[in-house]
Structures are given as C-alpha cells and as structure tokens.
Amino acid sequence: MTKPLVAGNWKMHGNTETASNLAAQLAEQWNDHLPVEMVILPPFVHLAAVKAALAKSTIAVGAQNISQHEGGAYTGETSGEMLVDLGCDYVLVGHSERRELFGECSATVAEKFKAAQKVGLTPILCVGESLQQRQQQQTLDVVNGQIAAVIDCVGLHNVCRAVIAYEPVWAIGTGEVASPQQAQQVHSAIRTQLGDAGADTRLLYGGSVKANSAAELFAQSDINGGLVGGASLEAQEFLNIVKLAE
Ligand code: PEP
C-alpha cells in the first residue's frame, strides 16, 4: 500500500536558530510509528542544522531546488551530490515559484528531475495551472503537459518512482485552497496519465493546506498526502496536518 507523505516547504524563512528549534520540536513530538512519512524542506543553508536536530528521528529532509549540472563552474548553484552529502532524501523540482520567478521552463525542470534521480534523490515534481489557465478550462492540459515534459526526458517508469505534487498556482500562499473535488479531478487525471505503472505513485496536493482543510483533501482517493508551505512553519499546525494523512 502507498504510504502517505506530507512535506513542509519552509521557503526562504528563518535563521539557523529558528530552523533548528522547529526541527527539534517536530522530532520531539513526532510519533515514528504513524503510517505517514514526514519530510521537511528547509533553505539550503539550514539543511545541516536541521539534519543535526533530527538526528534520532525518522523525519526525512529535502532541498527546495537542485542544479541540473553535476558540478563545475556554476556559481551559486547546488548539485545533487552536495544534497546527498548533507543527508537529503528528497528535492523539490519545478515549484511554481521557481517556474514563475526564476524562469525555469519545462525542459530545465526535466533536467533537474533527471539530475536528482541520478544521485538517488527522490524528486517531488510540482505541477499546476494559473488562475487564468483554470478559467480558460486548460487545467488538465497544463498539468498533463508539465508531466509529459518530464516523461519525455526520463521515461514513464522514472516519473512513477518520484512524488508528484499538484499545486494550483492560484492556491499557493493565497489562503484559497482548492476544493477536494477540484483537487481529486486533477489527481485522477494524473493517475490516468501514469497508467498502471503509477498506481502506487504518491500524488500530493499543495496550496494553502491547513489542519482545517487537510482531512477532506487527504480523504480523496487519488491524494496521498500534501505539500505544505506557510502552515509548515508552525510545529503544532504542521504535526496536526501530517497526522491527518494517516
Ligand atoms: C508551497 O509552497 O508549495 C505551498 C503549497 O505553500 P502554501 O501552503 O503556503 O500555499
């Protein structure tokens, strides 16, 4: 059976002390026996401190970005090997903020996905439509197209080994969460696109998830957990959300 996963994207928040404290609070209160995987995604510069704070815990750690290059003269970039060296298991790829604010196109996202798997990291591939695309009934075409670009690069089997997060852009950081029906419709289309090979692929919903909206979302048949931004910065709220994915 697919083990649900809830990931907390801390974005560009905090400092070493707040990151360590938050990780320590999560580690202290997390029940390792729950059938849910918790992953936290701190900024690069806090990965080592967070990893240390989680030393005795099963909570996994990931990064928010990865270079598509293996190494070399790429000032300011962070390679997959470096993330593995820091103890990461996961990495976000194609978050809408990277696509929109930093111009990452589908080809770059696919290269990053490939670079992650090459070093043994599990990519969390983020896909989702803008408000305008939803209003123009393009949601499924956009989402299936973003996934198809990665399938073209690495093959269906490799995409099915990853985690896919459906995050409608209009729901990220806006407080406007997709309805469970809207989310399920897109997750079902993704599941269909993946076919039999994707029956156990973990599909997450992301976009303004809070403890009061998570239960109904996570109860949908094709939703296997969540990608949580703002609400992952508060230990109790995040723990409450993670528990709802059981
Ligand atoms: C995110 O950063 O992926 C996200 C879903 O953020 P928020 O939960 O704040 O909308």
For residue 20, count CB atoms less than 10 angstroms from its CB and return exposed for 0-12, middle for 13-18, buried for 19 or more: buried
Q: Which residue of the set 46, 95, 104, 111 is catalytic?
A: 95
Domain around 90: 5-235
Contact 115, 80 (CB under 8 A): yes
* CA 101 to mean position of chain CA atoms: 18
Task: Please list the residues that pair with 166 across neighbouring strands.
Answer: 127, 205
163 phi/psi in degrees, rounded to 5? -115, 140
pLDDT of residue 33: 87
CA-CA-CA-CA torsion sign (84, 88, 94, 96): negative
Please tell me the distance from the alpha carbon of residue 165 to that of residue 208, in angstroms, as a whole number.
Answer: 13
Q: Of 46, 129, 167, 187, which is the active-site residue?
A: 167
Mutate to test the pocket of ligand 1, among 5, 6, 10, 11 (most ligand atoms within 8 A of CB): 11
Contact by Cβ (8 Å): 15, 228: no
Q: Which residues of the chain have pLDDT under 70?
A: 1
State the DSSP H helix or E strand holding residue 90, giving kind and residue range, or none if neither: strand 90-93
pLDDT of 128: 98
| CATH number of the domain encompassing residue 69 | 3.20.20.70
Handedness of CA 189, 191, 197, 198 (dihedral sign): positive
User: Residue 204: in which H helix or E strand, if any?
Assistant: strand 202-206
What pLDDT does residue 1 have? 67
For residue 114, what pLDDT is reported? 98
Give the per-residue pLDDT at 31.
Answer: 87
Predicted confidence at residue 5, as pLDDT, reads: 98
**Which residue is associated with the tokens 């979302």?**
217
Over residues 197-226, the pLDDT tens digits come to: 999 999 999 999 999 999 999 999 999 999
Q: Is 129 in the pocket of ligand 1 (CB under 6 A)?
A: no
Q: What is the mean pLDDT of the chain?
A: 97
pTM: 0.97
Q: How far is the CA of 129 from the centre of ligand 1 (A)?
A: 14
In this predicted structure, what is the pLDDT of residue 231?
Answer: 98
> How far is it, in rounded angstroms, from Cα 243 to Cα 39?
13
CB 4 within 8 A of CB 246: yes
How confident is the model at residue 160, as a pLDDT?
98
Task: Report the domain count for the chain.
Answer: 1
